Structure 1
């Protein structure tokens, strides 16, 4: 069986069994149909022609066959996010040892920090060793497409985006179902995780005036004081305060008075409380930890 036939069969199956809306994809994972318009057009399919990317997506078998017939070079298919009846939401968890990125670990860390219990759902293994996690969302919430906002190595696929379907072939290989093949049920997204996905970019997730919580208290007076130092940081000094507090925390850890990971988690949450973006706070903590603990990290 050719890659084209395999992609078509899988796309038709996804539409018939799960009511997913699909489009053909090329080997580069981009929509396989060329746009009929000049660059900069605003048409989203109103012209009636094919070639409008995710706007072409359909669950109608005749339309799917028509799209694939027009794209005989297609080797995969994309599943539209944000469409009824599932309002699909995806997390792309990248794993790249060369860039020291592990989206799976970052998601576990994020969920542990936020107290989120992540349920079982459909998981797709990517050719590079990463994973796509699929959830259903509420009909009245629009989830934006974002790269790296939740954490390094984690991209959000929401309204206007698509997920590469299992059985698709890309340049690096096949996308395959990694979860239970006998339970292909896309489950509802946890409410807390949905809130993180839809939060305004750069906005604090918690009030900057929030009290020092039990996650800091459990680390003793020294950690409470360092967390408070970050929470009380004035605008323009938040990152400097975080670096100073982190260095002090890791010095305590090196002396055996604090747990380094517990201190890092507490300071990470304090940074979030005062509105520091996750990426910036993580870089600052990593730098402080490397300066103080070095290879002992």
Structure 2
């Protein structure tokens, strides 16, 4: 996947610059697969949360960039970096990483095949990265208005998901256990769109309403309440999930206005809410 960069000072930087050329946002990593730059606020426990607003490096995926000059600056600040991380959930790819772990007790590949069989989806040809332990990372893309959360073994044992706020170790990275490489025949591919059925499995599910009869009206109110209860950072994701459920259950058109109003209450704009609902309609095979 990487191309030789004569101006790169380390192999890690060369691979990171190659990834950046494809629009992937990267950060330097250590041999332990952790961000190479420590937080500039680590000695100031009184400082509030910072996602890079201070202008300094050391904010993990919030430092990630596809700009070659910034990538070089990041690696210049961390000359000990032996690899790079690729931030997920960011434009233009909105990357979703499916991490298939390999242990003596789990067969994550078989678990994914079982999920695909039960939920009627197939993984399209896409970039596959081989890990030193024998695992695989599948690169998929998601809709721009949906934030897929990170999870560990929630989908199935041995299957971790890297979504918004997470990162994947990039191919060419050297770690304590070996080098990450691109699987033969996949380096030239672009990350494939995440299948609709799999995307729905990756999104959070609403809690079942208590003491509520199972009627269409009650179900619709439950979906609206699910959106109203969205914390900051999950507003689009919850709205998208609720709209998908509504269209799948045949009450999508009737819930467009209530869901949009609930989303506006949480802080989304009318335009953002309508765009997310329309995306859910398309995702479930309906015309918004």
Q: Do both proteins adopt the same fold according to a TM-score greater than 0.5, normalized to the shorter chain? A: yes
In the other structure, the counterpart of 1:112 is 117
Instruction: Choose from 24, 28, 31 the match for 1:27.
Output: 31
Assess if the C-alpha contact under 8 Å between 1:103 and 1:154 holds in 2. yes
> 1:122–1:186: 8 Å Cα contact kept in structure 2?
yes
CA distance in 1, matches of 2:208, 2:129: 31
Unpaired runs of 5+ residues, structure 1, are: 210-297
Q: In 1, are the aligned partners of 2:128 and 2:186 still within 8 Å (CA)?
A: no
- Corresponding residue number in structure 2 for 1:89: 96
CA distance in 2, matches of 1:52, 1:150: 28
Q: Show structure 2 runs of 5+ residues with no match.
A: 215-288
CA distance in 2, matches of 1:137, 1:104: 21
- The answer to whether 1:55 aligns with 2:62 is yes
Aligned to 1:80: 87
Q: Does 1:71 align with 2:71?
A: no
- Report if the CA contact (8 A) 2:26-2:85 is conserved: yes
* Contact 2:30 2:83 survives alignment (8 Å): yes
Q: Structure 1 179/140 Cα, relative in aligned 2: closer, same or farther at 3 Å?
A: farther
1:67-86 per-residue CA deviation (whole Å, 9 max, x = no partner) reads 10111110100001011011
In structure 1, the residue corresponding to 2:154 is in which secondary structure? Answer: coil
* Distance apart, 1:179 and its partner CA: 4.3
CA contact under 8 A between 1:4 and 1:73: conserved in structure 2? no
Instruction: Report the structure, 1 or 2, having the larger helix content.
Output: 1
2:19 matches 1:14: yes
Contact kept? 2:150, 2:163, Cα under 8 Å: yes
Other structure's SS at 1:68 match: helix
Q: Do the aligned residues in 2 keep the contact of 1:4 with 1:76 (CA within 8 Å)?
A: no
Q: TM-score, normalised by structure 1?
A: 0.64
CA distance in 2, matches of 1:80, 1:182: 18
Cα RMSD (Å): 2.1
- Kept in 2: contact 1:28–1:170 (CA 8 A): yes
Count of aligned residue pairs for this structure pair: 201
Contact 1:20–1:80, Cα closer than 8 Å, also in 2? yes
Q: Give TM-score scaled by structure 2 length.
A: 0.66
- In the alignment, the residues of structure 1 paired with residue 206 and residue 19 of structure 2 have an alpha-carbon distance, to the nearest angstrom, of 33
Pick closer, same or farther for the CA change 1:201–1:75 going to 2, 3 Å.
Answer: farther
CA displacement 1:166-218 (0-9 Å, x = unmatched)? 000111100000141463211101000000000328879xxxx9xxxxxxxxx
Q: What does residue 218 of structure 2 align with?
A: none
- 8 A Cα contact 1:87 1:137, kept in partner: yes
Contact persistence 2:155–2:201 (CA under 8 A): yes
Are 2:126 and 2:186, in contact at CA under 8 Å, matched by a contact in 1? no
Cα deviation per residue 1:120-176 (whole Å; 9 max; x = unaligned)? 111000000000000111001110001111000000100000111000011110000
Q: Structure 1 residues 177 and 160 mapped into 2: Cα distance closer, same or farther (>3 Å)?
A: same
